[in-house]
Structure 1
């Protein structure tokens, strides 16, 4: 999977969100509960793990993401990007000011070790 490189470099904090519904518009954050905040080496490791997700083909499920990550720079204003993960249809949808159109929709293989590790991190973060 490919993340916007300038955003990865600028990321100071990652917010992990347990998604509760789809957004009403494509340019608004996914609704849900923030279950964790990762900073420093924890954020860098999570971004490296996401970046290492191997590609896959699209599966049909209608896109029902369960988790998202929002990356913030030091100011913690608007998110640099948000990536919502659907482990059923293998799709990641990214949005934000740093996301070029070519990276907005990507596919990953949820059966690989990096994807299983990422899902494990998400699940450990949930209360």
Structure 2
């Protein structure tokens, strides 16, 4: 998966969100509860894991993401980007001030070891 390189370099904090619904309009944060915050090497490791997700073709499920990550710089202002993951249709939708249109929708192989490791991290973060 391709993340916006400048945003990755500027990321100081990753917020993990357990998504509860789809947003009411495109480009707004996914509703849900923040279940974890990762900084330092944890954030770097997760971003590296996400960047190493192998690509895939689209599967049909209607896009029902369960998890998202929001990346913030030191100022903790608006998120640099948010990436929502659907492990059923293998789709990632990304938006935010650092996301070019070409990166907004991507597909990953949810059955691979990196994807399952990411899902395990998400699940371990939820209370």
Q: Find the counterpart in structure 2 of residue 74 from structure 1.
A: 74
Q: Which runs of 4+ in 1 moved over 4 A?
A: none
- SS of residue paired to 1:102: helix
With the length of structure 1 as denominator, give the TM-score of the two structures.
Answer: 1.00
Gaps of 5+ in 2: none
Cα separation, 2, equivalents of 1:126 and 1:46: 16
Shift of residue 100, structure 1, vs aligned partner: 0.3
Determine helix, strand or coil for the equivalent of 2:71. Answer: strand
Q: TM-score, normalised by structure 2?
A: 1.00
Aligned-residue offset at 1:65: 0.1
SS of the equivalent of 1:37 reads strand
Give the Cα separation in 2 of the matches to 1:27 and 1:84.
11
CA distance in 2, matches of 1:50, 1:69: 10
What is the aligned residue count? 127
Unaligned runs of 5+ in 1: none
